[in-house]
Amino acid sequence: MKSSLHFICTLGVFAVSAALAAAESQAKPEQNRISGEKKIVVEPSRETPISHEADVVVIGAAEGGIGGIMAAVAAARRGAKTILIEQGGCIDPALPIGLLVIGTGEAGGLPSMREGLYRDLVKYVISAGESDFQPMTLEQILERETMIVRRQDVVTTAMLQMMKDAGVQMLFHTRFVSAVMESGRLTGIIVESPQGRHAIRGKVFVDSTGLGDVAAAAGAPMHREEPDMGLQSILAKVDPAKYEQWAMDNKPPLEATYRQWLEGIVGPFEKLEHPWNQWWPEMLGDRYSPAMVRKMKEASDNGELTLIRRRGARAVMAIPEGLKLLDDYARPRTYITGIDPLNLDDLNWAEVNSRLALMEFQRFLKKYVPGFEQCVMERMDDSIALRGGRYIKVAHNITEREVSRGARHPDAIFLFRKKPARQTYEMPYRALLPDQVEGLLVVGKASAGGAYLRTTHCTIFQGQAAGTAAALAVKEGLTPRKVDIARLQAALKADGVEIPYPATAKPPAAESR
């Protein structure tokens, strides 16, 4: 009799070893075959060995951002045996590259760098090396509420050390394939790696894939979103002072002919969908200065700059969107609307054309614009898919209105405030719990709050809450949905997260491994 630690896959439905006898009765193994009429590949039943078991399994440390990493650290620090899988060969969370990367960048913004795992991450980064060109102390970074990352590998190495110290088992080169469900609960995942196809069994799972791949595979209902997307780049060897002086010396307002020129490319503004109908005139006249716009027209007329790229009737890509300057760096990016982030052809078109557009824009700047004569392309983001796609349906869906008005929730897991003048919003724990699937939490932009709370510092605290809840669920023999909110809030508070929690709740101390 073969080991009972196998999953059987029959017609896409996973069962445990009770079906082994039927599978073993086959005289010859079935082979994959192609059905020409239906244009499908028919897969036979198969046995998938379980390679790993854990209390908490986190899926994703790249496209889903930093939330999965923080979830793994939080769970492991509370004594849960924790595995993190990532399809790439290293940690490469979706940190926006270059200039302002991690932090609110403003006094009074929330969540604060002084809280929870956020503060710990800063300490690890400082210990790992210099992430910025100028070394800074912990207090200096906390004071300005921003960690500027110029050397991304320093930060990712710090995250590796953070997980290693917590006792997280990291499985790189491991790609999520499918979900194993038992009575509506996620109990395992099928993965593929260089060693083949295998399964990982767990008690609680955290989806940090970015598109909610695990939640969708498990059957959770999902919302779809067509986001405004874009690819960021970093230009080095820029002279901002020279550029700004040139812009100041050449700032007469643009003539009406420039609007006519631009409308000739993108169409009448009043007939365009948001944000094109309002945003383009202000962007070109404000973000780039009249002097820059004049140079853009000159280059466009000379066939050296393409402002708009189109795919079909809806998809539009603009270059450039934003030109943030700091020290000798600039950060231009593409701006894309009308793309289906779940359509492979759309994504490939956007990825390829974004890179071509950014290189063309770098050549334009170098040839036409003072201050950019020596500029070079230093890096581009790994993917445009940092926004939108799909996110889970939950008992309480977060809206932009409630975030801006500072809605309060009894199951708050962290506080969000963009500026001191705005209301403080309480992120609810419910936003991490997908409908119709037990044993799973979702963090990052695929959570219910992902559309409005997807920034790096917010995903840190989503991850800390998810990992803490997962560890509590394992310890108490519960699903994440059944975790006592007061205990979760008390645990987060004890670990440095500044949230209100019931005064009667006794904060459980983190367990060391």
Task: State residue 509's pLDDT score.
Answer: 43
Q: What pLDDT shows up at residue 284?
A: 55
Assess if residue 31 is contained within a domain: no
Residue 327, in any domain of the structure: yes
| DSSP string across 86-99 | -SSSS----PPPSS
Residue 44: which pLDDT band, with cuts at 50, 70 and 90?
Answer: confident
* 375 and 394 inside one domain: no
Position with higher pLDDT, 228 vs 459? 459
Per the CB < 8 A criterion, the answer to whether 180 and 199 are in contact is yes
**21-25, 171-175, 191-195, 386-390: least confident range:** 21-25
pLDDT interval class at 513 (50, 70, 90): very low
11 found inside a domain: no
DSSP codes joined into one string, 204-247: EEEE-SSS-HHHHHTT--EEEE---B--BEEEES--HHHHHHHH
pLDDT score at 282: 54
375 and 392 share one domain: no
Check whether residue 220 and residue 241 sit in a common domain.
no
pLDDT: is 313 or 279 the higher one? 313
**Same domain for 322 and 293:** yes
Predicted confidence (pLDDT) at residue 98 exceeds the cutoff of 90: no
What pLDDT is stored for residue 264 in this prediction? 82
Q: How would residue 92 be classed by pLDDT, with cut points 50, 70 and 90?
A: low
Q: What percent of the chain is modeled with pLDDT above 90?
A: 41
Domain shared by 206 and 60, yes or no: yes
Would you state the pLDDT for residue 112? 74
How far is residue 289's CA from residue 273's CA, in Å, rounded to a whole number?
A: 24
Q: Is residue 1 part of a domain?
A: no
Q: Which of 351, 380, 409 is the last residue of a domain?
A: 380
Amino acid at 100: L
Integer Cα distance of 453 and 461 in angstroms: 10
Q: Residue 227: pLDDT band by 50, 70, 90 thresholds?
A: low
* Confidence at residue 298, expressed as pLDDT on a 0 to 100 scale: 95
Residues 114 and 457: their CA atoms lie apart, in Å, by 11
333-376 confidence digits (pLDDT tens) = 888 888 888 889 998 999 999 999 999 999 999 999 999 999 99
Both 57 and 193 in one domain: the answer is yes
Residue 194 lies in a domain: yes
Comparing 281 with 324, which gets the higher pLDDT?
A: 324
Q: Do 278 and 268 form a contact (C-beta atoms < 8 A)?
A: no
User: Residue 93's pLDDT band (boundaries 50, 70, 90)?
Assistant: low
The answer to whether residue 456 scores a pLDDT higher than 70 is: yes
297 vs 366, more confident: 366
The token duo for 38 is 């239906």
In a domain, 33, yes or no: no
Q: Could you tell me what percentage of the chain is helix, strand and coil, using 3-state DSSP and rounding each to the nearest 5?
A: 35, 25, 40
Tell me, yes or no, whether 182 and 129 share the same domain: yes
Length of the chain: 513
Assess whether 369 and 315 both reside in one domain.
yes
Residue 86 has pLDDT above 90, yes or no: yes
Residues 269 and 199 in one domain: no
Using one digit for the tens of pLDDT, what is the confidence trace for 414-430? 988 776 556 788 889 99
Q: What does the pLDDT look like over 139-158, one tens digit per residue?
A: 777 776 677 667 778 888 89
- Residue whose structure tokens are 């979760």: 488
Domain for residue 174, yes or no?
A: yes
Q: Which of 355, 380, 405 is the last residue of a domain?
A: 380
Examine the domain organization and report whether 220 and 240 are in the same domain. Answer: no
pLDDT of residue 15: 41
Dihedral angle of Cα 193, 196, 197, 198, to the nearest 10 degrees = -80
Structural domain that includes position 424? 45-226+388-513
**Rounded Cα–Cα distance for residues 91 and 70 (Å):** 12
In a domain, 15, yes or no: no
* 176 has pLDDT over 70: yes
Q: Is residue 96 scored above 90 in pLDDT?
A: no
DSSP codes, 156-167: HHHHHHHHHHHT
Look at residue 36 and tell me whether its pLDDT is greater than 80.
Answer: no
Kindly report the CATH number assigned to the domain that includes residue 494. 3.50.50.60
- Count: domains in the chain: 2
- Of 5-9, 154-158, 282-286, minimum mean pLDDT range: 5-9
Regarding whether 373 and 344 lie in a shared domain, the answer is yes
Q: Pick the last residue of a domain from 380, 415, 431.
A: 380
Based on the fold, state whether residues 487 and 435 are members of the same structural domain: yes
Q: Say which residue, 399 or 282, is predicted with more confidence.
A: 399
Range with top average pLDDT, 77-81, 209-213, 289-293, 389-393: 77-81
pLDDT for 262 equals 78
Q: What is the mean pLDDT of the chain?
A: 82
Q: Which of 3-17, 193-207, 313-327, 485-499 has the lowest mean pLDDT?
A: 3-17
Q: Tell me what the mean pLDDT of segment 454-478 comes to.
A: 93
Residue 508, pLDDT score: 43
Decide if pLDDT at 166 tops 90.
yes
Note the pLDDT of residue 19. Answer: 40
Residue 139, judged by CB atoms within 10 A of its CB (0-12, 13-18, 19+), counts as exposed
pLDDT of 510 over the 60 cut: no
